[in-house]
Chain A
Amino acid sequence: MAKEKKEKVVENMETEVVAEDTRKVVLMQGNEAVARGALAAGLDFYAGYPITPSTEIAEILSEELPKKGGKFIQMEDEIASICAIIGASLAGAKAMTATSGPGFSLMQEGIGFAKATETPCVVVDVQRGGVSTGLPTKPSQGDIMQSKWGSHGDNPAIVLYPHTVKECYELAIRAINLSEKYRTCVTLLLDEVLGHMREAVKLPDISNVRIVNRLRPTVPPEWYKHYDENQKYISPVASYGEGYRFHVTGLAHDALGFPTNKASEVAAQMKRLKRKITHNIRDLVQIESYMMEDATVAIFAVGICARSAKAAIKAAREYGIKVGLLRPITIWPFPDDAVKKMLRDVDTIIVPELNEGQLINELHRLTKDKADGKIIPIQRSDGEMITPTHIFRVIKEAH
């Protein structure tokens, strides 16, 4: 019975890779897959600062970008790195940086600037363990909330979370595509173990990769508005040096980009930032349902914990336990509808995560029955993984 359920059901999964080239099987690390994916998506510019466990991304791009006419620069710190990619993006580049926790903290002001000024860029955060300097070579999922709320003010986030090396490749492409499409900073969250793990990956032919480029203005410069209020939340964007001579500021701004204190103009900006996410949930949110059709127990997990969960599910199915996995691929915006359905459909939800309860709070937000033991946490923040055995044990207890 378990066997019939084995193939994974991917809902709302518009993959960036149209067709795989089965001949090209390579052994690849998660970090390398991110770098290769970004290149496939048309990355022009990378600025970064060395930090474990993300450094391989910079190393690979320093080698590859000059070969294709792209730009690589190692900046003096992570603050400079995020600022440099925003500058490059304003000059027309598809731009990216990669870092880990401490660097991600330093980048938050810049991330807010990219979102406020609606400048496309991608930040990869290969999460390391612990608070502060923490555990540079150990995994954690401690930046889930930071990736949404890290920058001050209301700044709606798009955050993607792969769980295999192949998905690192695909989601790196998708991150760049979404940043271009929605004119915003998109974050790609990796687990340390995924960044450093090697798996066999089938790389697609480049012609089979779906590439999205930002909309370009078709109006003459004197008609151009950098944030056109007549467009539906996402307007075409010019680059510096093309004759449009627009102004960009992190201050609250009007449609032309000039600073403003006028409540109606500020409200329009805030509304646009929010609605370009909330009005496109269907396009943005991707989840994977794994053996969920008949499940009475569900596991809700991301990244590496979802892999442990899949192994535990296979084992539990052997014992006849109807257990499945719901895995958000896009964690922000949060897949509210899919989670609400899960909360209705199953008796028990197990939430394994490598932090002290970040995902589980989102589930609590969506349900009133917090106290009845329906949602069971498995939390670990000591730098070690949550094993399939551990999850299996909890499944058996919950069943």
Chain B
Amino acid sequence: MANIPQKVVHKYLRHNKKFPHVWCPGCSNGTTLGSIIRAIAELNYDRDGITMVSGIGCSSRMPVYVDFNTLHTLHGRALPFATGIKMQKPEQKVIVITGDGDATAIGGNHFIHACRRNIDITTIVLNNNIYGMTGGQYSPTTPTGDRATTSPYGNIDPVFDICELAMAAGATFVARTTAFHALETQDIIKKALEHKGFSVVEVVSACPVIYGRLNKKGGGPEMMMHMRDNSVPLKATEKMTPEQLEGKIVRGIFKQVNKLEYCDAYANLMSQFNVKEEAKK
């Protein structure tokens, strides 16, 4: 065989999984998957030591393509599954891939409680403002007034700010980035993975085929350009007026604090007993 130079991502993709993937043309999920893989590659994590867990939705189809321990669970339930894995094997690096509907609607309760426990799981929320897999119904992050197949007259629901929600619920690392800023995403995910505690990274994503079409946002490239032109780094917001900030996506790390992690707290609890090492399977 010819000596084809391999990209970093190829090392982490499954060779026995039948491609192509499920994502539509113009979808930004693949770009974000690339950022996640490159962050892991930079940290030089062992593939056996990573468990990637997802719920249901477009972004949640991600684990099947990567060569880690992978688990594709029920709608909204990725975090409790991940909690079980992390508790049982605290040495595993557990990454949860979820979407806006998966994390904040059906899985909202699990999301806030995982934040509260500060269990060492990195949750990456790919927020495309829509239920893509089911064909475009409004989600808790669909902007008020926007169209979805279940809001043909415009969405009347106020929206969730995923980062505000995570911070208020007690997550100890909270950040937002966009799929367009792939290198920044890579960097932030790397920091989130290195953080000991519950980390949330919201990646603003593009769903041109459904959300974009319903709301006349253009195709994949146009939606990427929109992310570039309508987002501002956290630092820049200091000098901006509320009027200037209107409608802007603020990117950056909003919160990074050290607090006792949940598995450590449990280990502390256990330390009062003479637990034999062999009990830790």
Contacts and interface: CB of A to CB of B under 8 A. Distances in A.
Interface of A: 44-45, 47, 66-71, 73, 75-77, 79-81, 83-93, 95, 109-110, 113, 240-251, 256, 258-259
A113 B83 contact: no
14 contacts: A71-B88, A80-B79, A80-B83, A83-B74, A87-B53, A87-B84, A88-B84, A89-B84, A90-B71, A91-B84, A92-B88, A95-B84, A243-B48, A250-B74
B275 A68 contact: yes
Contacts of A242: 48
A247 B18 CA distance: 13
A45 B84 contact: yes
Contacts of A256: 16
A259 B47 CA distance: 21
B257 interface: no
A76 B109 contact: yes
A44 B64 CA distance: 28
Given A66-B269, A66-B273, A80-B110, A247 B64 contact: yes
B82 interface: yes
B73 interface: yes
Contacts of A91: 51, 84-85, 88-89, 92
Contacts of A113: 73-74
Interface string B264-281: 001001100101100111
Interface string B1-24: 000000000000010111000000
B64 A258 contact: yes
Nearest to B92: A241
B22 to A, nearest CB: 9
Nearest to A221: B48
Contacts of B280: 69
B276 to A, nearest CB: 7
Given A69-B279, A93-B88, 16 more contacts: A67-B275, A80-B77, A80-B79, A86-B84, A87-B53, A87-B82, A88-B85, A88-B87, A88-B88, A91-B92, A93-B281, A110-B77, A240-B71, A245-B48, A247-B63, A250-B74
* A-B pairs, 5 with minimum CB distance: A69-B279, A87-B84, A83-B80, A84-B84, A80-B80
Contacts of B91: 241
B87 A248 contact: no
A248 B70 contact: yes
Contact of A87 (B14, B81, B109, B270): B81
Contacts of A85: 84
Nearest to B75: A109
Say whether chain A's binding surface is mostly helix, strand, loop, or mixed: mixed
Given A69-B279, A80-B110, A245 B68 contact: yes
B69 interface: yes
Given A91-B92, A241-B69, A86 B18 contact: no
Interface of B: 14, 16-18, 47-49, 51, 53, 63-64, 67-74, 77, 79-85, 87-89, 91-92, 109-110, 113, 266, 269-270, 273, 275-276, 279-281
A203 to B, nearest CB: 21
Q: Interface centre among A79, A80, A85, by most B CB within 10 Å?
A: A80
Nearest to A112: B74
B69 A87 contact: no
Contact of A80 (B47, B68, B72, B113): B113
Contacts of A47: 80, 84
Contacts of A77: 109
B115 to A, nearest CB: 11
Nearest to B280: A69
A73 B87 contact: yes
B150 to A, nearest CB: 22
Q: Interface centre among B53, B69, B88, B270, by most A CB within 10 Å?
A: B88
Contact of B85 (A44, A240, A244): A240
A84 B71 contact: no
A47 to B, nearest CB: 7
Given A45-B84, A68-B279, A240 B89 contact: yes
A92 B113 CA distance: 24
Contacts of A250: 72-74
Nearest to B277: A69
A88 B81 CA distance: 8
Contact of A67 (B16, B17, B74, B273): B273
A201 to B, nearest CB: 25
Contacts of A80: 77, 79-80, 83, 109-110, 113
A20 B81 CA distance: 38
B80 A66 contact: no
A68 B270 CA distance: 9
A79 B72 CA distance: 16
A88 B49 CA distance: 15
A95 to B, nearest CB: 7
Given A76-B110, A241-B91, A258 B266 contact: no
Given A44-B88, A92-B89, A84 B70 contact: no
Nearest to A73: B87
Contacts of B47: 245
A66 to B, nearest CB: 5
A100 to B, nearest CB: 19
Nearest to B84: A87
Contacts of A251: 72
A87 B74 contact: no
Given A71-B266, A87-B85, A88-B85, A249 B72 contact: yes
B77 A245 contact: no
B84 A241 contact: no
